[in-house]
């Protein structure tokens, strides 16, 4: 693709963690110039350990880093100069923070009426908006942890699902606002929130209650919609997920494995009948499949077009042949930490435009990597730029 869809769009972001950076990453991958404004000590996300170690390198590719002290008059003046040239401002500070800095939408639209301001918060304005929210907080209060865990054992999903999807909805809002600006000439305020995102994720279960009058059971304890839709343990302790979700697939499954007795069983002729028979049918199938190797079962399912899946761990996907063949992974240079300067594989957006994946134009930036060029482009001298973007990192 010779020109990316958002080429020429300038985004200034004040973000950290996952939600805000995800929004900026989507816009950057689509071609926008995304400038990440960081304090002199840098985004704290750069230094997270454990499950947070992947946050910064995954969600900050294709961006530029500008270091400014927004608490100083000179830093504030510089950022206002920058925003005057921008199309979008993105932030995920606590409510009220941007207003204290004079960088809220009402203040900035006086400077730049065409500016789109996207805020990523815990809650949309309302009774809860004073609370501090995290992905896990809204999963618990928003029904997702209840649905994921076993009865009496709420369990968060194994990824930052609300942060990531909240960022996606923020980006969708920005693109809608850009379209509206083409008609009106004016920008607007876009809001995305973790709690409301989580409620959207469980909306199908809320609607299930409206339709059936029965509360949805947690997924491990639910009444399945399909007769076979389970993880099976097979030979050598391996596991594999198998699904048979139609009457046609049931006939194919029985023929493929030679289960002629089950195919002829009047109690199993339709999917709903097989759902009602799960109490004895699933244990029977577990017993029959237990002696076969996972690869053998997978080969039969693949040969006959039946749904199946190995139980993969995330790091194993770095060697996934489909991701490698389709360009779903791309190399970046790590900017921070003990492995700074080394190459790693990042996961690209799960879409293609005219058959092309949206790739990595720039690795996640080093702290202040683009400060000099950005500030001098705003009219500062080299000496002034150096003073404005001092990057004295505090040891963690």
Give the tens place of pLDDT for each residue, 264-293.
999 999 999 999 999 999 999 999 999 999
Q: Are 170 and 61 found together in one domain?
A: yes
Dihedral over Cα of 215, 216, 218, 222: its sign:
positive
Q: What is the pTM of this model?
A: 0.93
Q: Are 195 and 159 found together in one domain?
A: yes
**Would residue 206 count as lying in a domain?**
no
**Would residue 3 count as lying in a domain?**
no
Q: Are 122 and 21 found together in one domain?
A: yes
Q: Are 334 and 305 found together in one domain?
A: no
Which DSSP string do the residues of 342-355 spell out, in sequence order?
-EEEEEPPS-EETT
**Would residue 125 count as lying in a domain?**
yes
Q: Are 335 and 305 found together in one domain?
A: no
Domain-ending residue, one of 279, 310, 341: 310
Q: What is the CATH number of the domain that holds 284?
A: 3.30.1540.10
Q: Are 258 and 168 found together in one domain?
A: no
Q: Are 94 and 112 found together in one domain?
A: yes
At residue 391 the predicted structure's pLDDT band, cuts being 50, 70 and 90, is: low
Which DSSP string do the residues of 248-306 spell out, in sequence order?
HHHHHHHHHHT-HHHHH-GGGSSHHHHHHTHHHHHHHHHHHHTTS-HHHHHHHHHHTT-
User: pLDDT per residue over 251-265, tens digit each?
Assistant: 999 999 999 999 999
**In angstroms, rounded to a whole number, what is the distance separating the alpha carbons of residues 350 and 327?**
10
Domain-ending residue, one of 289, 310, 331: 310
**Would residue 315 count as lying in a domain?**
no
Catalytic pick among 29, 43, 135, 163: 163
Which tokens hold the place of 286?
A: 């577990």
**In angstroms, rounded to a whole number, what is the distance separating the alpha carbons of residues 40 and 382?**
18
**Would residue 5 count as lying in a domain?**
no
Q: Are 106 and 230 found together in one domain?
A: no
What domain count does the chain have? 2
Annotation says 74 is catalytic: no
- Whether 108 shows a pLDDT value over 60: the answer reads yes
Give mean pLDDT, residues 19-23: 98
Q: Are 261 and 378 found together in one domain?
A: no
Q: Give the list of residues 6+ apart from residue 383 with CB closer than 8 angstroms, or none.
A: none
**In angstroms, rounded to a whole number, what is the distance separating the alpha carbons of residues 343 and 345?**
7
Q: Are 21 and 150 found together in one domain?
A: yes
**Would residue 31 count as lying in a domain?**
yes
Which tokens hold the place of 197?
A: 């995102």
Query: What's the mean pLDDT when you consider all of the chain?
Result: 95
Give mean pLDDT, residues 301-320: 97
> Residue 213: left if φ>0, alpha if ψ -120 to 50, beta else—which one?
left
Give mean pLDDT, residues 106-113: 94
- Whether 394 shows a pLDDT value over 80: the answer reads no
Domain that holds residue 56: 10-201+320-388
User: pLDDT per residue over 179-229, tens digit each?
Assistant: 999 999 999 999 999 999 999 999 999 999 999 999 999 988 887 889 999
Q: Are 121 and 260 found together in one domain?
A: no
Domain-ending residue, one of 254, 280, 310: 310
Q: What is the CATH number of the domain that holds 329?
A: 3.40.50.10540
**Would residue 214 count as lying in a domain?**
no
At residue 396 the predicted structure's pLDDT band, cuts being 50, 70 and 90, is: very low
**In angstroms, rounded to a whole number, what is the distance separating the alpha carbons of residues 54 and 10?**
26
């Amino acid at each position: 693709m010779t020109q990316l869809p958002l080429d020429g769009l300038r985004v200034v972001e004040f973000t950290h963690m996952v939600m805000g950076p995800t929004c900026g990453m989507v816009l950057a991958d689509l071609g926008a110039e995304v400038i990440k404004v960081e304090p002199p000590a840098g985004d704290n996300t750069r230094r997270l350990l454990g499950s947070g170690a992947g946050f910064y390198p995954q969600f900050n590719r294709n961006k530029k880093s500008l270091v400014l002290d927004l608490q100083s008059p000179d830093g504030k003046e510089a950022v206002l100069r920058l925003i005057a040239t921008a199309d979008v401002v993105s932030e995920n500070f606590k409510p009220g923070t941007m207003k204290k800095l004079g960088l809220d939408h009402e203040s900035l639209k006086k400077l730049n009426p065409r500016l789109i301001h996207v805020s990523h918060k815990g809650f949309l304005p309302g009774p809860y908006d004073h609370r501090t929210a995290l992905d896990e907080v809204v999963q618990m209060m928003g029904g997702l942890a209840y649905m994921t865990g076993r009865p009496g054992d709420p369990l968060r999903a194994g990824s930052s699902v609300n942060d990531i999807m909240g960022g996606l909805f923020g980006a969708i809002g920005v693109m809608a606002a850009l379209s509206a600006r083409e008609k009106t000439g004016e920008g607007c305020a876009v809001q995305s929130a973790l709690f409301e995102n989580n409620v959207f994720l469980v909306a199908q279960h809320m609607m299930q209650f409206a339709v059936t009058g029965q509360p949805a059971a947690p997924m491990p304890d639910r009444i399945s919609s399909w007769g076979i839709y389970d993880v099976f343990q097979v030979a050598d302790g391996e596991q594999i997920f198998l699904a048979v979700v139609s009457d046609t697939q049931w006939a194919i499954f029985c023929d493929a494995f030679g289960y002629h007795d089950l195919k002829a069983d009047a109690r199993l002729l339709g999917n709903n009948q097989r759902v009602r028979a799960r109490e004895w049918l699933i244990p029977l199938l577990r017993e029959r499949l237990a002696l076969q190797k996972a690869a053998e079962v997978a080969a039969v399912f693949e040969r006959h077009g039946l749904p199946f899946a190995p139980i993969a761990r995330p790091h194993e996907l770095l060697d996934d042949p489909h991701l490698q063949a389709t360009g779903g992974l791309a190399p970046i240079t790590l900017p921070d930490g003990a492995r700074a300067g080394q190459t790693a594989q990042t996961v690209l957006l799960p879409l293609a435009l005219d058959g092309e994946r949206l790739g990595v134009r720039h690795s996640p930036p080093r702290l202040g990597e683009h400060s000099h060029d950005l500030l001098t482009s705003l009219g500062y001298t080299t000496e002034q730029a150096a003073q404005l973007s001092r990057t004295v990192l505090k040891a963690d």
